[in-house]
Chain A
Amino acid sequence: MSTWDWQVFCKDTIDGKIVPSCFGSGGDITYLDWLLSAWGWTLSVSALALLVALLLGSLMGILRTTPHRGLVLLGNAWTELFRNIPLLVQIFLWYHVVPALIPPLRSVPSFILVVLGLGLFTSARISEQVRAGIQSLAGGQRMAGLAMGFTLPQTYRHVLLPMAYRIIIPPLTSESMNIIKNSSVAFAVSISELTLFALQAQEETSRGIEVYLAVTGLYFVSAFAINRAMLFVENRVRVPGMIGGGGH
């Protein structure tokens, strides 16, 4: 195999000349500039999609544990719908189909559409975890809350959810790491994130291995950072006298 050529990242993206500082100036950019901006897109898509997924996934997961049949059905249908269509197909639906069917959405930037697509896909998985977390608390906790005179929303707010979220931190951690990995499908609708950078820079420079290694490394670093952050959170909210985060 040929020798390494890491200088490829210092090349200007237009004329291919090596820039001494490795960073472009005056509007010209190097591959390193491009790589870092692609990383930024990956992180932005992931962070916003995670926010969408946590909000909607929690809501749907909670609905599935209420005593109201209609709400349970809504939560179940939501979860099955977004879980059983491949992510890439969902992204295409958001990008090609939804704006065609709902004209006002035509002016929405594709970045937002991808965030929605990835967020709703992930919300189905988070809904599963939230539901499982709530159901893992013995039914007695719900009764104890109600017996104290709490309304059902108060019982969720003060009794069930604080424990359920502590219990599901580990699966939520892997879901947050998954969202970074899954954001790679955004390349298919031309979001300038890491995978699209990998594809295009590989083609332009013919230094595929160096380009892929750098991109793969950044995915690693991002996922690892999330892992550490969640461990920190897990330790912060640990309940004294309980092993792990709780449960019976």
Chain B
Amino acid sequence: MPMIEMKNVSKWYGTFQVLAECSTQVEKGEVIVVCGPSGSGKSTLIKCVNGLEPFQQGEILVNDISVGDPKTNLPKLRARVGMVFQHFELFPHMTITENLSIAQIKVLGRSRDEATERGLKLLERVGLKEQAAKHPGQLSGGQQQRVAIARALSMDPICMLFDEPTSALDPEMINEVLDVMVELAQEGMTMMVVTHEMGFARKVAHRVVFMDQGRIVEDDAKEAFFGSPRSERAQQFLSKILHH
């Protein structure tokens, strides 16, 4: 049973089709990178996985639970799926410690002490232990994104979704975030990552999904994708991105 399974997912905004019959799956422990030109639907696709974006056709199963089924308890499902956003989305009015513990307390029902301890442990892991008492606005973008990863991990997720985690960062901060992600991947976390960082893809991805105009155009093992992508669009995209 795959951790994430998508079958023929289609989505429209009014009459405009943003996703067209997208199918793919992520096995347990697998890392897949989703890439494609802007507007190709990759961010929308990843937000469908935990039901942040509704879709009109097809089916998505996460750990065998149907996301689109109205009977599914979405908050419960989302609590088990970690997500990292392009703009970090830490809660600005809370300290870093509170950011790391609030959902553990309110959603998982952990005690404050337990949640704080777990949060601080993860904060140490991303190398930011001494920032615990600060507010997000006092941290750099790279630091905020590392906190955001720790926040997602604090919920003990069964898989992680990354939505362009480095594209809002200044170039010198990208690596500190990628390093954390690489480490996670090497530990065997199941990850679905929307990114243009092909270095990351080469290093840890098992498969690469290439999207264009709402469709999944390529879904290949990493070696095959970087060796000889089948579609012309993917070749163009790769040559643009790699020569940038």
Interface residues of A (CB under 8 A from B): 138, 140-141, 143-151, 154, 158-159, 162-163, 166, 239-242, 246
Structural contact, B138 and A147, CB atoms closer than 8 A: no
> How does the 8 Å CB contact mask read for B20-39 relative to A, with 1 for contact and 0 for none?
00000000000000000000
Contact A246:B93 (CB < 8 A) given known A239-B135, A240-B135? yes
* Across-interface contacts of A162 in B (CB, < 8 A): 91, 93
Structural contact, B78 and A239, CB atoms closer than 8 A: no
Q: Nearest chain-A residue to B107 (Cβ)?
A: A149
Structural contact, A149 and B78, CB atoms closer than 8 A: yes
Interface residues of B (CB under 8 A from A): 47, 50, 52, 74-81, 83, 85-87, 89-93, 102-103, 106-108, 134-139, 151, 155
B137 touches which of A141, A143, A144, A239 (Cβ 8 Å) = A239
Structural contact, B103 and A150, CB atoms closer than 8 A: yes
Q: Nearest chain-B residue to A158 (Cβ)?
A: B102
Structural contact, B107 and A148, CB atoms closer than 8 A: yes
Structural contact, B103 and A149, CB atoms closer than 8 A: yes
B135 touches which of A141, A158, A241 (Cβ 8 Å) = A241
Nearest Cβ on chain A to B99's Cβ, whole angstroms: 10
Contact A147:B83 (CB < 8 A) given known A239-B93, A240-B135, A242-B137? yes
* Across-interface contacts of A159 in B (CB, < 8 A): 91
Bound-state CA distance A239–B76 (Å) is: 30
A149 touches which of B47, B76, B87, B136 (Cβ 8 Å) = B76
Structural contact, B106 and A158, CB atoms closer than 8 A: yes
**Known A140-B87, A149-B76; 11 more pairs at CB < 8 Å:** A148-B79, A149-B75, A149-B80, A150-B75, A154-B75, A158-B91, A158-B106, A162-B91, A240-B135, A241-B92, A242-B137
Q: Nearest chain-B residue to A143 (Cβ)?
A: B52
Query: 8 tightest A-B contacts by CB?
Result: A241-B137, A149-B79, A144-B89, A241-B138, A148-B103, A147-B83, A149-B107, A240-B135
Nearest Cβ on chain A to B200's Cβ, whole angstroms: 21
Contact A146:B52 (CB < 8 A) given known A240-B134, A241-B134? yes
* Across-interface contacts of A140 in B (CB, < 8 A): 85-87, 89
Of the A-B pairs whose beta carbons lie under 8 Å apart in the complex, a sample of 25, sorted by A's number, is A140-B85, A140-B87, A140-B89, A143-B47, A143-B89, A144-B85, A144-B89, A147-B52, A148-B78, A148-B107, A148-B155, A149-B79, A149-B80, A149-B103, A149-B108, A150-B106, A150-B107, A154-B75, A158-B91, A159-B91, A240-B137, A240-B138, A241-B134, A241-B135, A246-B93
Among A138, A144, A145, A246, the one with the most B-chain Cβ atoms within 10 Å of its Cβ is: A144
* Across-interface contacts of A241 in B (CB, < 8 A): 92, 134-139
* Across-interface contacts of A158 in B (CB, < 8 A): 91, 102, 106
Bound-state CA distance A160–B62 (Å) is: 27
* Across-interface contacts of A242 in B (CB, < 8 A): 92, 135, 137
Structural contact, A144 and B134, CB atoms closer than 8 A: no
* Across-interface contacts of A144 in B (CB, < 8 A): 83, 85, 89-91
